[in-house]
């Protein structure tokens, strides 16, 4: 009987041990793995994400008013960067002008006849214009003659019409005009030089300040035919003091560029021109050049120098 009881106890013990082992195995299978803890700590799901299909947008009626976008979502247009001002090339008229604080000079052919430089350092020797234009000195006739006429003022034919227009415009302002001296030949300038020197007690044509009051033959602009002395009447001797404030001189200095002329020997520029101030002496260079020269208070020497 005792043996039977021991057998029963062994069987029950084995059954309890098997039940305990099965419980441990089941608990181990249900417990989370180490990787599962990592997913939980990083907030990542351990299962595949659920993909949902978005509902189609409701159809907008054709005649519906457009919906304005919120300013907050509009992209600002990028700013357009302006290109820098071009730098003038060195050794060009524009660069030389800029170095002197002057605006860009006009695009002209400095070798053209209008820019013939005649002064004490630039002689034209025996030069004479190929064709002359003859204008009535008091502008009583509005024509340009091409045949020699000793009663008219001769100039280079190429400036005759511009000079006539200049004089007519002055007279239309109620001013008297007298074309005192246009072209002078080489021989005439020899006589003029000797006469003025004798009258002023000099031999080199210069005054006490060292400026020319008359030019040697070959060095006078009058020989080029591109200039004219313009006064309100005939003067035996012209002086700056007598003519600087003359109404005609003032008007012509203000408007000469409109007809292509410049005041050739301005006051304050004697060290450059080497000629005394002559408020009556006007030189043709063309409208573009004249406008630039007069607007910037230049001499012909300074203007030509920009293109050298």
Domain of 248, CATH number, reads 3.30.1380.10
Say if 255 falls within a structural domain.
yes
The pLDDT score that the predictor gives to residue 20 is 60
Residues 6+ apart with CB under 8 A from 186: 125, 126, 127, 128, 217, 218, 223
Q: Could you list the residue range(s) of the whole structural domain that residue 301 is in?
A: 102-305
User: For residues 41 and 297, which has the higher predicted lDDT (pLDDT)?
Assistant: 297
User: What domain count does the chain have?
Assistant: 1
Is position 75 within any domain? no
- 138 lies in a domain? yes
Residue 53 lies in a domain: no
- With respect to residue 225, please indicate whether it lies within any of the assigned structural domains: yes
CA gap 263, 270 in Å, rounded: 13
In a domain, residue 263? The reply is: yes
What SS3 class is residue 155? strand
Q: Give the model's pLDDT for residue 62.
A: 43
State which H helix or E strand residue 149 sits in.
none
Nearest to 227 by CA among 236, 239, 215: 215
- State pLDDT tens for residues 75-111: 555 667 777 766 777 899 999 999 999 999 999 999 9
- Which pLDDT score, from 0 to 100, does residue 44 have? 45
Catalytic residue set = 278
Q: Which of 273, 261, 260, 268 is nearest to 301 (CA)?
A: 273
Residue 46 in this model has a pLDDT that exceeds 90? no
Q: Does residue 150 form part of some domain?
A: yes
Is 276 contained in some domain? yes
């Amino acid at each position: 009987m005792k043996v039977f009881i021991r057998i029963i106890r062994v069987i029950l013990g084995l059954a309890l041990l098997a039940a305990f082992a099965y419980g441990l195995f089941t608990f181990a299978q249900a417990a989370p793995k180490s990787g599962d803890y990592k997913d939980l700590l990083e907030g990542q799901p351990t299962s595949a994400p659920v993909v949902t299909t978005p509902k189609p947008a409701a159809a907008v009626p054709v005649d519906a008013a457009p919906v304005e976008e919120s300013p907050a979502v509009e992209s600002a247009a990028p700013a357009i960067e302006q290109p820098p001002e071009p730098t003038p090339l060195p050794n060009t008229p524009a660069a030389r002008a800029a170095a002197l604080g002057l605006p860009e000079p006009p695009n002209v052919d400095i070798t053209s006849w209008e820019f013939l430089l005649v002064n004490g350092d630039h002689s034209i020797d025996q030069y004479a214009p190929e064709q002359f234009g003859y204008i009535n000195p008091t502008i009583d006739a509005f024509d340009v003659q091409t045949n020699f006429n000793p009663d008219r003022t001769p100039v280079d034919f190429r400036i005759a019409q511009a000079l006539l227009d200049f004089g007519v415009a002055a007279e239309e302002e109620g001013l008297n005009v007298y074309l005192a001296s246009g072209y002078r030949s080489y021989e005439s300038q020899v006589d003029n030089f000797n006469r003025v020197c004798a009258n002023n007690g000099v031999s080199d044509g210069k005054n006490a300040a060292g400026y020319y009051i008359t030019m040697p033959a070959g060095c006078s602009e009058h020989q080029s035919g591109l200039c004219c002395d313009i006064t309100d009447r005939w003067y035996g001797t012209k002086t700056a003091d007598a003519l600087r404030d003359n109404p005609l001189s003032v008007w012509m200095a203000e408007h000469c560029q409109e007809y292509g002329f410049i005041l050739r020997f301005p006051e304050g520029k004697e060290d450059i021109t080497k000629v005394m101030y002559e408020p009556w002496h006007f030189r043709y260079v063309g409208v573009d050049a004249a406008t630039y020269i007069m607007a910037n208070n230049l001499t012909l020497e300074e203007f030509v120098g920009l293109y050298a």
